[in-house]
Amino acid sequence: MSEIVKINSTSKLHEFFGYPEKPTHPLITFIDFSKINIHAIKSGTRKIFGFYSIALKKVKGAGVIYGRKDYDFSEASLLCMAPEQLSIVTDIEKDAFMEGWGLYFHPDLIRSSPLNANIKKYTFFSYNMNEALHLSDKEKNTLFSILQTIQEEFSDKLDPYSHDLIASNIEVLLNYCNRYYGRQFITRSHHSKGIVARFEKILFDYFESDLVKNNGLPSVKYCAEQLHLSSNYLGDLLKQETGKSAIDHIHYFLIEKAKNLLLNSSDSISEIAYDLGFEQRQSFSKLFKKKTGMSPKAYINSISSN
């Protein structure tokens, strides 16, 4: 297995891509993929970038592996990645080419800016590659105009205002990506509704089996893996389609299961809590009360008195 190449500076990034231009800033750079020497990238190289990246790319004649999956970039799509994610370029053909653009910025660039506290809200940085964003020509032009503003700021002579302007314009760029992902969820609503239905079937089957007793509550990651999605993408899709988070859905199925057991089982509340994956009755009772407004015992009494 080839050595992992870690790239943490813009100079090393340009060198890796065989990019003809020198970077003008140590923590942020813009790359025109049509200018890179794709054959400078050794096939099978396993690379980890220490950058956030926002890239609109189209690749022909080369494979790209992220995680354990091979992805096709023959159609241009916008891909956002957080630092420290592993990728591999494979099978670079003689006539291979790449086009599009990429903005790469190091976490240190935004460390002292408000964006540092907000970056986690841009959950698309952790989407799977097959969840990339497909843009209209108008959307591409909007993003590119913001990129040009950012590039002008870090390419010109820096002044006391440059850092704040770069960070704030990156945030504008990310907010537009958020908008466009929201649009994509809406335009794919029929597809999304199918995912919601499959997600609910996974939860129904889980709570009707011994899995909850043996393994505890299903995690969002577990459900996402069953659907071949990333946790963040599933959570955002559910929020868009249902107004509820993935955890809200899991808790709903848990509470419905708990209600059935509380009213139809001879087991004690402690035993029911254990069967639902809780090690302590108190934890179960606290969650039950939070979701229903009453304790498990009060719920039983309220039904029995009717």
User: How do the domains of the chain map onto residue ranges?
Assistant: 4-187, 190-304
Taking the C-alpha atoms of residue 121 and residue 117, their distance in angstroms, rounded to an integer, is 9
Give the contacts of 292 (CB within 8 A, at least 6 positions apart): 255, 299
E-state strands within the chain: 4-7, 28-32, 46-49, 52-60, 63-66, 69-71, 77-81, 86-90, 97-105
| Residue 156: predicted pLDDT | 82
Rounded to 10 deg, the angle between the 246-264 and 231-242 helix axes is 80
Nearest to 56 by CA among 173, 206, 154, 158: 173
Give, in order, the Cα–Cα distances in Å from 237 to each of 98, 126, 216. 30, 14, 24
User: For 190-304, CATH number?
Assistant: 1.10.10.60
Which residue, 292, 274, 225, 284, is CA-closest to 67? Answer: 225
- pTM for this prediction: 0.73
Instruction: Output the tens digit of pLDDT for each of the chain's 306 residues.
Output: 566 788 999 999 999 888 999 999 999 999 999 898 877 777 777 788 899 999 998 777 555 655 555 555 556 688 898 998 877 767 667 777 778 999 999 999 999 999 999 999 999 998 877 788 888 899 999 999 999 999 999 998 889 999 999 999 999 999 999 999 988 887 777 777 888 989 999 999 999 888 988 888 999 999 999 999 999 999 999 998 888 999 999 999 999 999 989 988 889 999 999 999 898 899 999 999 999 999 999 999 887 665
Look at residue 63 in the predicted model and tell me its pLDDT: 58
Q: What is the CATH number of domain 4-187?
A: 2.60.120
pLDDT the model gives residue 138: 93
Check residue 214 and give its pLDDT: 87
């893996």: which residue's tokens? 225
Say which residue the tokens 């079937």 belong to.
201
What contacts 79, CB < 8 A, 6 or more positions away?
53, 54, 55, 56, 57, 129, 132, 133
Cα gap 104→154, rounded to integer Å: 12
DSSP string, 265-287: --S-HHHHHHHTT-SSHHHHHHH
